[in-house]
């Protein structure tokens, strides 16, 4: 922080960083509008908390950080006592649009995301139709540009059927390729144990390959064992035994070995076991890692004991496991074997969840409450707020090579979140914004609250009030060296 005092005359001339910032070039600034000054914030950024600092936003960009005198045409937001963090970048969501918009869509779920401090997301390819062609990919981008309040990107879907078409494409145009969610379409769409397909993919693409890592054959065997014992009424407590530690570990170990052999860029989605975490390294900076992974907030919050009360509501694939896994995943997050935090936000209608074991759909909504979960863990003394920002804001942008987001820096997009660390509230139906209308966290009492969320410098969420005028932007990637 520079402790800069910005002269009023300089601001009136409207010469803020024009020459040095390519985003601001070739625009006219003599009529200054939409200038927001955040005063007296506790800024959390790059491992530090700077108290009582100011941030000046103009034209969607962070212009100045320091001590800034307000001008007459500034909108001043008093952040005294609050923490200012970069906008959260959620690297894995299922917003259901197109094709399953009765559960959620790019407007409703991005609105819930913004209320939870999420300003950017990557949506998965298991929409209807599945995102398996460039035509469908482009069509989905058109839909999101008209609906989303948050910034956006998409994985291109990959399976054994479309691999030959995908490897003909310039895969550097994608933030990544993924098979996640496509296993619902048919058996065999989980690629991690299909060595021939994965080897072909690794050898012929030049982007991140993000995979769902479970051994489908072992899961099928476990299902039959428990079906013989319980029939269709398998208790949900058996879910982490069916989608077991071994099913996860075998698949992850196998695909990591192949990725190392071929020097591929592999990302393992939604890690659920402490045993898997031992397969990842923390001895090099994230920017140099070829093999990375993530943990979802629900796997740091819930464990197997919650199945007794919540049952199908916390049925995810891979499954929420045991206390030892919850503790081991947090330890791996803290020592940097796990690189980022995501939500795997996956809304379904309550009627689709409240069913017998085999008929209850897997997945649940989390994006509105992810930051609250992590801040609650912070207040319990389990993780620092600086580490939360690193894993939810900084690292996703480093991992996915995202340009000018994820940090509170001059010249970066003003994706910012103000949080009150001393505000009590309870998750209830009347404040749940997911289109599906429910949350596995309903009834949970939190002691922290998101008060304001800025997306590209626009105050989109302000103490429960939304400004839906501006839509989010497509995520832009840094050029490769």
Question: pLDDT > 70: what percent of the chain?
Answer: 91
Mean pLDDT of 450-461: 98
- Give me the pLDDT at residue 414, please: 98
Domain-located, residue 207: yes
Which residues span the domain enclosing 66? 8-81
Same domain assignment for residues 327 and 381: yes
Give bridge partners of residue 42 from the DSSP assignment.
Answer: 83
pLDDT in tens, 91-120: 999 999 999 999 999 999 999 999 999 999
Asked if 232 and 357 count as a contact pair (C-beta separation under 8 A), the reply is yes
Same domain assignment for residues 58 and 196: no
Domain-located, residue 208: yes
Query: Of 181, 190, 308, which is closest to residue 248 (Cα–Cα)?
Result: 190
Query: First vs last Cα of the chain: how many Å apart?
Result: 29
Among 81, 101, 117, where does a domain finish?
81
Among 81, 101, 136, where does a domain finish?
81
Q: Tell me, what CATH number does 36's domain have?
A: 2.30.40
Domain-located, residue 410: no
Same domain assignment for residues 45 and 135: no
Domain-located, residue 278: yes
Domain-located, residue 440: no
Same domain assignment for residues 61 and 100: no
How far is it, in rounded angstroms, from Cα 448 to Cα 370?
A: 12
Handedness of CA 239, 241, 245, 250 (dihedral sign): negative
Q: Is the peptide bond before 318 cis (omega within 30 degrees of 0)?
A: yes
Retrieve residue 39's tokens: 């005063």
pLDDT in tens, 71-99: 999 999 999 999 999 999 999 999 999 99
Name the pLDDT band for 394 (thresholds 50, 70, 90): very high
Same domain assignment for residues 188 and 295: yes
- Give me the pLDDT at residue 19, please: 34
Domain-located, residue 454: no
Domain-located, residue 458: no
Mean per-residue pLDDT of the chain? 92
Same domain assignment for residues 107 and 175: yes
Same domain assignment for residues 244 and 308: yes
How far is it, in rounded angstroms, from Cα 345 to Cα 363?
A: 7
220 Cβ contact list (under 8 Å, min separation 6): none
Same domain assignment for residues 279 and 349: yes
Same domain assignment for residues 68 and 92: no
Mean pLDDT of 45-60: 98
Residue found under tokens 């609906």: 147
Burial of 258 (0-12, 13-18, 19+ CB in 10 A): middle
Domain-located, residue 409: no
pLDDT at residue 148 greater than cutoff 90: yes
pLDDT in tens, 3-33: 444 443 334 333 344 334 444 433 333 333 4
Q: Tell me, what CATH number does 183's domain have?
A: 3.20.20.140
Same domain assignment for residues 144 and 51: no
Asked if 407 and 45 count as a contact pair (C-beta separation under 8 A), the reply is yes
Mean pLDDT of 41-45: 98
Retrieve residue 303's tokens: 């464990």
229: three-class secondary structure by DSSP: helix
Burial of 20 (0-12, 13-18, 19+ CB in 10 A): exposed
Total domains in the fold of the chain: 2
How far is it, in rounded angstroms, from Cα 87 to Cα 107?
A: 18
Same domain assignment for residues 115 and 42: no
Name the pLDDT band for 165 (thresholds 50, 70, 90): very high
Q: b/e for 184-223, b at 16 or more Cβ within 10 A?
A: eeeeebbbbbbeebbeebbeebebbbbbbbbbbebbeebb
Same domain assignment for residues 36 and 113: no
C-beta atoms surrounding 138 within 10 Å: 10
- Give me the pLDDT at residue 185, please: 58
Q: What are the DSSP calls for 371-410, one per residue?
A: HHHHHHHHHTTSS-HHHHHIIIIIHHHHHTTBSS-SS--T
Among 368, 399, 430, where does a domain finish?
399
C-beta atoms surrounding 449 within 10 Å: 20
Pair type for strands 445-446 and 340-342? unpaired
pTM passes above 0.95: no
């Amino acid at each position: 922080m520079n402790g800069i005092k910005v002269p009023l005359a300089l601001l009136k001339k409207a010469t803020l960083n024009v020459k040095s910032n390519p985003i601001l070039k070739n625009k006219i600034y003599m009529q200054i509008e939409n200038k927001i000054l955040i005063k007296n914030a506790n800024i959390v950024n790059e491992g530090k908390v700077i108290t009582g600092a100011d941030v000046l936003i103009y034209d969607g960009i962070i212009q100045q950080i320091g001590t800034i005198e307000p001008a007459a045409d500034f909108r001043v937001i008093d952040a005294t006592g609050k923490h200012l963090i970069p906008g959260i970048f959620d690297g894995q969501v299922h917003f259901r649009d197109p094709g399953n918009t009765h559960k959620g869509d790019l407007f409703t779920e991005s609105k819930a995301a913004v209320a939870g401090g999420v300003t950017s997301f990557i949506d998965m390819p298991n929409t209807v139709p599945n995102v398996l062609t460039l035509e469908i990919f482009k069509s989905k981008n058109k839909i999101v540009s008209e609906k989303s309040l948050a910034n956006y990107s998409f994985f291109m879907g990959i399976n054994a059927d479309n691999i030959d078409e995908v490897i003909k494409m310039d895969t550097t145009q994608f933030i990544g390729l993924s098979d996640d969610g496509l296993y619902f379409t048919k058996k065999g769409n989980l690629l991690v144990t299909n060595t021939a397909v994965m080897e072909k993919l690794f050898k012929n693409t030049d982007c991140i390959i993000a995979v769902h890592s479970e051994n489908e054959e072992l899961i099928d065997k476990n299902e039959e064992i428990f079906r013989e014992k319980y029939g269709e009424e398998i208790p949900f407590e058996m879910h982490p035994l069916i989608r077991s530690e071994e099913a996860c570990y075998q698949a992850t170990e196998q695909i990591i070995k192949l990725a190392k052999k071929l020097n591929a860029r592999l990302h393992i989605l939604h890690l659920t076991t402490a045993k898997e975490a031992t397969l990842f390294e923390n001895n090099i900076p994230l920017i140099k890692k070829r093999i990375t992974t993530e943990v979802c907030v629900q796997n740091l919050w819930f464990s197997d004991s919650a199945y007794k009360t919540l049952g199908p509501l916390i049925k995810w694939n891979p499954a929420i496991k045991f206390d030892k896994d919850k503790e081991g995943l947090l330890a791996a997050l803290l020592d940097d074997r796990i690189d980022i935090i995501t939500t795997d936000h996956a809304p379904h209608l309550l009627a689709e969840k409240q069913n017998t074991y085999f008929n209850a759909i897997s997945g649940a909504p989390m994006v509105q409450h992810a930051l609250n979960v992590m801040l609650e863990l912070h207040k319990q003394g389990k993780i620092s707020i600086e580490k939360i920002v690193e894993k939810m804001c900084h690292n996703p942008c480093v991992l996915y090579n995202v340009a000018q987001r994820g940090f509170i820096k001059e010249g970066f997009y003003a994706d910012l979140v103000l949080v009150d660390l001393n505000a009590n509230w309870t998750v209830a139906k009347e404040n749940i914004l997911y289109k599906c209308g429910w949350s596995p966290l309903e009834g949970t009492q939190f002691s922290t609250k998101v008060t304001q969320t800025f997306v590209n410098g626009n105050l989109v969420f302000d103490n429960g009030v939304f400004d839906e005028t501006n839509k989010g932007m497509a995520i832009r990637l840094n050029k490769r060296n």
